[in-house]
Amino acid sequence: MQSALLLVDVQQDFLARPGLEPAADAVCKQLADLLHAVRQLHWPVIHVVTETMADGSNAMPHWRTQQKKECVSGSAGAAPPLALQALPGELQLNKTFFSAFGNPDLVLQLYGLGVQRLIIAGLYTHACIRNTALDAYQAGFEVILARQAMASTEPLHAATTLNYLSLRGIQVLDTSAILLLNTGAGIPPNFVHFDPCNTDNILFEQSYAAPGAIAEALDRLRPAQPGWGCLPHRDRQAALSRWQSSLEAVREKLIFLIIQDLAKPLRDARAEFDYAMALLAHSAELTAEEQGKPTVRYQPHGVVGLITPWNNPLAIAVGKLAPALVFGNVVIWKPALPAARVSALIAEALHQAGLQHLFALIQGGHETGRQLACTPGIACVSFTGSTKAGRQLQYLCAGRGIPLQAEMGGNNAVLVMADTDLVRAAREIAQAMFSFAGQRCTATRRIIVEASVRELFSACLKHEIECLPAGGITDEQTRLAPVISRGKMLDLLSDIKQAREQGAGVLCGGRVREGAGNWLMPTVLTDVALDAPLFCNESFGPIALLVCVENGDEAIRVCNAVGQGLLACLFSEDTAMQQRFVEQVQAGMLVINQARPAFAANAPFSAWKDSGAGLPEHGRWARDFFSRPQAVYS
C-alpha cells in the first residue's frame, strides 16, 4: 500500500502562537524526525500551507473580523522552519481555509501518485488537522495521524478531536508504529520490548488489546460491583490481605522481572517491592466509616480506570489497585507496555486471592489509555505518567465530568547552600539524580548551588558521580542503569547536543557507554539558560543541570521558576533558610538535608502545579479519591 506524508500548516506564524501544546521546539523536533524517516523510505511528501494576500482579501472571515494578518504570502511568518522546508521535487500547495483538501489539486495529486494511506502531521489538531483528516477519510484514503508530530493551541479541543476521529476509524499512531508500516504487515500487531541492557535481545512481545476490550471488560465487571461494594469493609480488607500474601509468594519472581524487563538495579527493585507492600498494608487499614454525628460513610464510585507507568510497575500499580478495591470499586487497569510481564504477574496474584471477577487488565498504548478515560461507565480515573498525557486526560475527564487523580512529571530541584556539608550533599545528590538512570519522577533534575561554593561543590559532585557503582544490573552495589529504550536514549542525546550548541558546559557525561545497551553516562550540564527547554521540562533520564545563584532567596526563585512542583530538597544548616524554604517553595513534597527520602505509605504523594491534578495518592487521600463521602444523620 502506497503511503504518503501530508504536512499541514507547519509555518512560523502558527508555531509562534501562545499556548501551543506541545511547545514549538518539541513539535518541530518530532516533525523533523518523522520527515527525515519518511524521506529515507522514499514516501511522497506533500506540504500544504496557509497563505493570505497582503490586503487580507482572501483571508478567512474571522481573520478579517479580528484584523489578523498572518501567513501573508512571501513573509517570514508564512514560511516553515528551515529544517521542515520542502526539498526539490516535493509537492507544495497553498490553502486559505482549514482543510488541506480545500485545494482541489491535492486529491488529484494523491490519486496520481497512487497514494492509498495518508499520514497527516502538523498544526492544529483541533482545526486544520481535524478537517483535513475527515476530508481524506471521505475521499477514500486510509488516514493515520502522527501523534507526536501534531500540536494545538486548544488542548481540550484537541483531546476531544482525537477521540472523535478515532471512533470513526482514523488511527492515531506513534512515529515508530508509522514507520513499521513500510514492512507491508500494516500496523504492528505486537509491542516488542528490547532488553535495555542489551538491545540485541528481545525480552518479550505483547499483543495490543482489541478495540472493544474496554467495553467488554466494563460489561463483565459491572454486575460484580454492587455485591463487592456491599460487603462489610472488613471482608474487603481480608481480601487485600490475601492478595498481599499472594504477592509475597512471588516476591523473587516479581523482583527478577523488574530487574530484567526494566533494568532497575537489584537494590532498587527490592525497595520497590517493600514499598508496594507497605502501601497495600496501609490501604487495608483505612476505614470506610467514621463514627460521630453525623456518621460519615465512604461509598464506592463503581468502575474506576487506572493507568500506570513502567518505571515503578509494582508500587504504583499496588498503590492504586489496593485503595480502589478496598473501598468497593471494580477496576479496569491499563499498565505501560514495557511493564507488561510485571503487570501480568500482579494480575495473577489477584486471581490467586480470588479477586479475578473484580478487575480487568488491558494491555495497550496511548490510545487505550485515552479510550479508558472516554468510555461511558468509567466513574473516575487515576493516572501516573507524563505531563502531556496527563493534560489530555484532564481535558477528557473534565469533558465527562468525572474525577481525575493525576501524578505527572517532576522537574525537581535541590538547593545547596554554602553552610552545608558539601561532600555529604554531593554523595546524596549523585544517587538521587542517577540511580536507575534518573527514571523516577522524584529524581533530582536541577542543582541550585550558592556561588561561593560552586567550584568546590562541582568537584565533589563530579567525584561522587564517578564513584557510582556501575556493575551488572543484578549486583547488590550497582546504582547506574541503562535508559529504557533506544529511542529515549537518542532523544536525550539530542537534548544534550542542543543544550551544548546553545552554550551549555559539561561537568561530566554527555556520551554513551560502550556496549549494546542504552547506557547513557550520567550527565551534568552547566550554564543552561533558565528559559531553555531542558531547564523548563523534565528530561526523565540521567541528565541534571547545575545552576549558580548568589544567595538563598535567589535559589528559591530559581527553584520555583518552572511549571512543575513535585519535590524539592534543601541542604543547609541555617534554620532561618530552612523555614523560608518550607514557606516559599512551590512543591508538594519538601525534603531537608537529604535528597532521596524514604516515602511514607500513609503520607500524601503530593504534586503541585503542572506536576499533579486532583487529590494526592496514598494515605487517607487515596480513600478520598476512590470513594464518595456520605453523611448519615440519625
Query: In Å, how far from its chain's centre is CA 304?
Result: 20
Q: Can you give the pLDDT at residue 399?
A: 84
Last residue of a domain, one of 188, 222, 255: 188
Q: Can you give the pLDDT at residue 346?
A: 98
Indicate whether 404 and 454 sit together in one domain. no
On whether residue 141 sits in a domain, the answer given is yes
Indicate whether 361 and 500 sit together in one domain. no
Task: Using the CB atoms, write b or e for 487-508: b if 16+ within 10 Å.
Answer: ebbebbbebbeebeeeebeebb
On whether residue 194 sits in a domain, the answer given is no
Indicate whether 183 and 211 sit together in one domain. no
Q: How far apart are CA 40 and CA 302, in angstroms?
A: 50
Indicate whether 360 and 450 sit together in one domain. no
Indicate whether 128 and 47 sit together in one domain. yes
Peptide bond into 294 cis (omega under 30): yes
Write phi, then psi, for 537 (nearest 5 degrees): -120, 155
Indicate whether 324 and 390 sit together in one domain. yes
pLDDT tens digit sequence for 489-499: 998 998 999 89
Q: Which domain holds residue 527?
A: 412-605
Indicate whether 247 and 158 sit together in one domain. no
Q: Can you give the pLDDT at residue 188?
A: 55
On whether residue 195 sits in a domain, the answer given is no
Strands, E assignment, 451-526? 505-508, 523-526
Q: What is the pTM of this model?
A: 0.88
* Residue 364 half-sphere exposure toward CB, CA atoms < 13 A: 22
Q: Can you give the pLDDT at residue 510?
A: 93
Indicate whether 18 and 72 sit together in one domain. yes
pLDDT tens digit sequence for 515-570: 789 999 999 999 999 999 899 999 999 999 999 999 999 999 999 999 999 999 99
Question: Total domain count for the chain?
Answer: 3
**Could you tell me the pLDDT band of residue 59, with boundaries at 50, 70 and 90?**
confident
pLDDT > 70: percent of the chain: 99
The CATH number assigned to the domain holding 7 equals 3.40.50.850
Indicate whether 396 and 429 sit together in one domain. no
On whether residue 593 sits in a domain, the answer given is yes
pLDDT tens digit sequence for 455-487: 999 999 999 999 998 878 889 889 999 999 998
Q: How far apart are CA 150 and CA 132, in angstroms?
A: 13
Q: What does pLDDT average to over the chain?
A: 94
The CATH number assigned to the domain holding 307 equals 3.40.605.10
Indicate whether 85 and 172 sit together in one domain. yes
Indicate whether 222 and 123 sit together in one domain. no
pLDDT tens digit sequence for 131-157: 999 999 999 999 999 988 999 999 888
Contacts of residue 95, Cβ cutoff 8 Å, sequence gap at least 6: 48, 49, 50, 51, 102, 103
Q: How far apart are CA 608 and CA 515, in angstroms?
A: 39
Is residue 589 pLDDT above 60, yes or no? yes
Residues paired with residue 629 on neighbouring β-strands, in sequence order: 298
Q: Can you give the pLDDT at residue 504?
A: 96
The CATH number assigned to the domain holding 503 equals 3.40.309.10
Residue 151 contacts residue 30 (beta carbons within 8 Å) = no
Q: Can you give the pLDDT at residue 366?
A: 86
Q: Can you give the pLDDT at residue 184?
A: 54
Indicate whether 262 and 216 sit together in one domain. yes
Q: Can you give the pLDDT at residue 534?
A: 92
Is residue 312 pLDDT above 80, yes or no? yes
Query: Once rounded to an integer, what is the mean pLDDT over residues 586-615?
Result: 96
Q: Can you give the pLDDT at residue 395?
A: 86
